[in-house]
């Protein structure tokens, strides 16, 4: 072994949420891990910004919940609008966060020299040993190579793994801040579901990250179309058009900072069962943010990898037949399949112009309106409003 060669048990390429979570979990089990990324600190990135108790439970299984909580903003009062009117107030715990802050909070838990900053130049994979050469000429040798590079294709192609696009330009996520701080609004968290197919909107949600009121809007549009360009120029104006019923709550609001876009293609890896190499997180299958299962899938992959990798390392070899166990795992498959199934359904029920989906939308609208109408009648009989406590007094101007 030369001075530029490092030997370890597991090499992980990509130190986002998937790679960092897996690296920490495996290192805490006593395994040697080298985590490779192009950045010493994870840069700002518009990705997942909200999680709930199911995702926190997965962080607990990985032993990472304490580190994560330092950057999470808790919320437990969610005002829900459907068909343009408030229909219920949900009491369940969710958390807002900036994705880069969460990843960097976990990275702060990395010990010693686990993180290696550099760009991958070459990969050698096989049934016994794996080798990663960086662009500075240094080399990392390991028994197992984990690819956690998210949407990046370069590393996946280098190890000979293909991909299949399930749904191109499936959805578009839009994120921005409101000018007034979170405490100045008459609600803690608000979710408004789209109900006009022509709007091509799934929903918009308002929630706090620290003192900031953050907005995530999910639509079925493309980043280059005229509507998207117009929205980026005047987000407040276009949001009022999408959700005019929110005007009494939002008042004459303004936005602050940049409008961020994240277009999503639903993509799955193909021919991925290979000697020595495992894909996790978005490198294996991309989720749609509309259904909110992205982090759950990612953390499930890390949990299941932390189960299988010690078993693989306990026996000779790292052949494809051994690694296939990970992809066939029941918990992983359930998370993967549910994420894709809900993503396809959510788009179709919102915008698919074919007659069966138009009839489903009509049925859902009639049934839901009937249920909400019965709920309103019951509340009036009980002399109670839809919410469990009054909204906050109206805040001042922006």
| 73-95 confidence digits (pLDDT tens) | 999 999 999 999 999 999 999 99
Most confident of the following: 69-73, 375-379, 389-393: 69-73
The pLDDT of residue 382: 44
What is the predicted pLDDT for the residue at 16? 98
Q: Determine the pLDDT at residue 4.
A: 87
Mean pLDDT of all residues in 215-224:
98
pLDDT band at 390 (very low <50, low <70, confident <90, very high): very low
Question: For 243-254, what is each residue's pLDDT tens digit?
Answer: 999 999 999 999
Strands 94-96 and 50-52: antiparallel
DSSP element (H, E) containing 193: strand 189-193
Which of the residue ranges 85-89, 91-95, 179-183, 385-389 would you say has the lowest mean pLDDT?
A: 385-389
> What is the tens place of the pLDDT at every residue in 285-311?
999 999 999 999 999 999 999 999 999
Rounded CA gap, 91 and 375, in Å? 17
List residues bridging with 115 in a β-sheet. 35
Task: Tell me the pLDDT band of 195, cut-offs 50, 70 and 90.
Answer: very high
CA-CA distance, 379 to 389, in Å (whole number)? 13
Specify the pLDDT at position 278: 99
> On the CB side of 273, how many CA atoms lie within 13 Å of its CA?
10
Q: Rounded mean pLDDT of the chain?
A: 93
pLDDT at 387 over 60: no
pLDDT of residue 373: 63
* 365 — pLDDT class (breaks 50, 70, 90): confident
151 pLDDT tier (thresholds 50, 70, 90): confident
Give the pLDDT score at 394.
44
333-338 long-range contacts, Cβ below 8 Å, gap at least 24? 335/293, 335/296, 335/297, 335/300, 335/301, 336/284, 336/285, 336/297, 338/293
Which H helix or E strand runs over 12? strand 10-13
From residue 139, how far is each of 78, 167, 223 by CA, in Å? 50, 37, 39
Is the pLDDT assigned to residue 386 strictly greater than 80?
A: no
- 193 near 60, Cβ under 8 Å? no
In the DSSP assignment, the letter for residue 281 is: G
Non-local (6+) Cβ contacts of 237 within 8 A are none
pLDDT at 397: 38
**CA torsion 384→386→392→398, rounded to 10°?**
-150
**Strand ranges (E), 194-294:** 201-209, 212-219, 255-270, 277-279
CA distances from residue 367 to 82, 89, 363, 373 in whole angstroms, order as listed: 12, 19, 6, 10
- Say how far apart CA 158 and CA 395 lie, in whole Å: 55
Burial string for 344-354 (b: 16+ CB within 10 Å, else e) reads bebbbebbbee
Q: What is the pLDDT of residue 391?
A: 54
DSSP three-state, residue 310: helix
- Of the pLDDT bands very low, low, confident and very high (cuts 50, 70, 90), residue 369 is confident
The two tokens of residue 45 are 């990135």
């Amino acid at each position: 072994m030369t001075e530029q060669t490092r030997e370890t048990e597991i090499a992980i390429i990509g130190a986002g949420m998937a790679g960092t979570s897996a690296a920490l979990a495996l290192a805490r089990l006593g395994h040697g891990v080298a985590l490779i990324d192009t950045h010493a600190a994870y840069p700002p990135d518009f990705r997942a910004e909200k999680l709930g108790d199911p995702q926190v439970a997965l962080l607990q299984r990985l032993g990472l919940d304490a580190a994560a909580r330092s950057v999470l903003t808790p919320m437990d009062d969610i005002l829900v609008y459907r068909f343009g009117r408030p229909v219920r107030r949900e009491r369940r715990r969710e958390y807002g966060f900036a994705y880069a802050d969460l990843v960097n909070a976990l990275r702060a838990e990395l010990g010693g020299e686990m993180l290696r900053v550099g760009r991958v130049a070459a990969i050698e994979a096989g049934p016994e040993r794996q080798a990663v050469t960086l662009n500075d000429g240094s080399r990392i040798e390991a028994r197992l190579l984990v690819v956690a590079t998210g949407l990046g294709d370069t590393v996946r192609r280098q190890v000979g793994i293909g991909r299949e696009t399930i749904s191109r330009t499936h959805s578009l996520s839009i994120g921005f801040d409101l000018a007034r701080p979170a405490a100045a609004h008459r609600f803690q968290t608000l979710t408004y579901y789209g109900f006009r197919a022509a709007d091509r909107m799934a929903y918009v949600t308002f929630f706090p990250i620290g003192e900031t009121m953050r907005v995530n809007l999910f639509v079925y549009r493309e980043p280059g179309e005229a509507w998207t360009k117009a929205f980026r120029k005047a987000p407040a104006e276009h949001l009022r058009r999408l959700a005019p019923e929110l005007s009494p709550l939002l008042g004459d609001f303004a936005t602050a900072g940049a409008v961020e876009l994240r277009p999503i293609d639903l993509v799955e890896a193909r021919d991925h069962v290979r000697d020595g190499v495992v894909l996790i997180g978005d490198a294996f299958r991309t989720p749609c943010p509309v259904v909110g299962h992205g982090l759950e899938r990612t953390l499930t992959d890390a949990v299941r990898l932390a189960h299988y990798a010690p078993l693989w390392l306990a026996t000779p070899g790292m052949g494809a037949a051994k690694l296939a166990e990970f992809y066939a795992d029941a918990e992983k498959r359930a998370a993967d399949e549910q994420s894709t199934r809900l993503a396809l359904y959510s788009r179709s029920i919102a915008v698919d112009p074919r007659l069966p989906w138009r009839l489903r939308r009509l049925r859902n609208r009639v049934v839901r309106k009937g249920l909400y109408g019965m709920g309103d009648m019951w509340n009036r009989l009980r002399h109670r409003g839809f919410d469990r406590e009054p909204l906050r007094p109206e805040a001042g101007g922006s």
